[in-house]
Structure 1
Amino acid sequence: MPHNKTAILAVSLMALALAGCQSDRFSSMNSPAPQPLPSAPSGVVTSNQLPPPSATQTDPSQFPEAPQQTQMAAIDPNTAAEVSTGSVAGVWSVNVAGQSCRVATPQTKFGAGYRAGPLRCPAPMDGVKSWNVEGKQLAFYDANGSVLATLYSSGAGRFDGQTSNGQPISLSR
C-alpha cells in the first residue's frame, strides 16, 4: 500500500508540472517588444561664462551687533510653588537665551540627584548630567556637581530661571 501512495503522489506532481508548462502566462514572453516612444524636442543648448562674483568687500574685523538679551520676568522665590520630583520627571522643551532644545529628566538616581539627558542643547545646558529639587527650586548640574542652572516653578508645566552665567532659561512641556 505504501508504494501505491508514492506512485499516486509522483504521478500527481508530474501532472501538475506539465499543467504549469501549458499555462498562457508564458505566452507574453513570445510577444513582440513594444515600440519605442518618439523623442521629444530638446531645444537649444547654449554656453556662456559666469559673471565674476560681486566685488563687495566686508571687513572681517567687524561683526554684526550682538542680539539683545531677552528679558525674563522676575520670579520671586518666596511666592514660587513647591516643586516635587514627580512634577519634574519627563521630557521638557528648553529655551536658553532664545535657543531651543529638549531635556529628559527621568527619576533615575544619579549622584546626589537624578540623571538628566540634554538633546542638542546650547551651552551651558549641553553639559547637564543631573537634576534635583531643593524646596521650591529646580537645579541642573554638570558632571562635577556644579550648578549649571536654577529655576523656579512659574505655573503648571513651566519653569523659569537663569543659567550659571546669567542667561535666561525656561522649561515647558
Structure 2
Amino acid sequence: MGIGKIGLAASAVVLLAAAGCQSERISRVDTRPTPLPAAPAGNVTASQLPPPAPTSFPETPPAAPNTQVAAIDPNAGAAPSAPVTEGGVAGVWNVSVGGQSCRVATPRTKFGQGYRAAPLRCPAPLDGVKSWAVQGNQMILYNDSGSQVASLSSSGPEKFNGTTSSGSPVSLTR
C-alpha cells in the first residue's frame, strides 16, 4: 500500500509539471526580433586628394651676443648611473654567461636573501640561482643555500654586467 501512495504522488508531480509547461505565461524561447530594413547606400566616387598644405616652422631666433652655451667635456667621466631599485630590477632578463644565453625571471616575491629568482634554461652556475637582492648599485644573485652566485653592477638603464663567483663574465639585458 505504501508503494501505491508513492506512485500516486509521483504521478501527480509529473502531471503538475507537464501542466506548467502548457501555461501561456511562458513565452516561446526561439522568438527572434524582426529584421531591420536595409539602409540606403550612397554612391562611391574616386578622385585625387588635394596636395598637402605647406607647413611652415618658425625660424630659430638669432643668438644674443652674450649668450652662454653649455659644453660637454669629452674628458669628463661617465654620468653617474641612476640608483638601482628592486622595482627597476624586477622582470625578465636576457642573460649571457660564458658565451651561452638564457633568461632569468626576477619577480618581487620575498624569498631567501631578498626576492625569488627563476633561471630559465641557464648553464651552471646560474642554473642554481634561487634569489636576488639589490645592494647599493649592484644586483646580487644567490643560490638556495644563500651563497653568492654572481655580482652585477648597473651599466646603464636595462643592463647589468658582472662576474659569477667562479669568475665567468655575466651580463643581463632587457
Tell me the TM-score normalized by structure 1.
Answer: 0.54
Matched, 1:130 2:131: yes
In the TM superposition, 1:73-88 aligns within 5 A as 81-88=82-89
**Structure 1 residues 106-154: Cα deviation after superposition (integer angstroms, max 9, x where no partner):** 0000023000000100110000000000111100000000000000110
List, as ranges, runs of 4+ consecutive aligned residues in structure 1 with deviation greater than 2 Å: none
User: In the alignment, what sits opposite 2:112?
Assistant: 111
**Structure 1 residues 90-119: Cα deviation after superposition (integer angstroms, max 9, x where no partner):** 000000011000000000000230000001
User: In the alignment, what sits opposite 2:94?
Assistant: 93
- Contact preservation (8 Å) 1:116, 1:131: yes
Give the match's secondary structure for 1:149. Answer: strand
Give the match's secondary structure for 1:144. Answer: coil
Find the aligned partners of 2:112 and 2:169 in 1 and give their Cα distance.
Answer: 26
For CA contacts below 8 A with separation 6 or more, give which structure has more relative contact order.
1
Structure 2: 5+ residue stretches without partners = 1-21, 23-79
Structure 1: 5+ residue stretches without partners = 3-78
Find the aligned partners of 1:165 and 1:97 in 2 and give their Cα distance.
Answer: 11
Find the aligned partners of 2:133 and 2:106 in 1 and give their Cα distance.
Answer: 9
Find the aligned partners of 1:110 and 1:124 in 2 and give their Cα distance.
Answer: 19
- Contact preservation (8 Å) 1:81, 1:154: no
Find the aligned partners of 1:169 and 1:111 in 2 and give their Cα distance.
Answer: 22
Tell me the TM-score normalized by structure 2.
Answer: 0.53
- Contact preservation (8 Å) 2:113, 2:142: no
User: In the alignment, what sits opposite 1:9?
Assistant: none
Find the aligned partners of 2:164 and 2:81 in 1 and give their Cα distance.
Answer: 18
Structure 1 residue 83 displacement after superposition: 0.6
User: In the alignment, what sits opposite 2:121?
Assistant: 120
Calculate the aligned-residue CA RMSD, in Å.
Answer: 1.7
Q: Give the aligned residue type for 2:173.
A: S
- Contact preservation (8 Å) 2:112, 2:144: no
Find the aligned partners of 1:142 and 1:114 in 2 and give their Cα distance.
Answer: 12
User: In the alignment, what sits opposite 2:63?
Assistant: none
Q: Give the aligned residue type for 2:161.
A: D
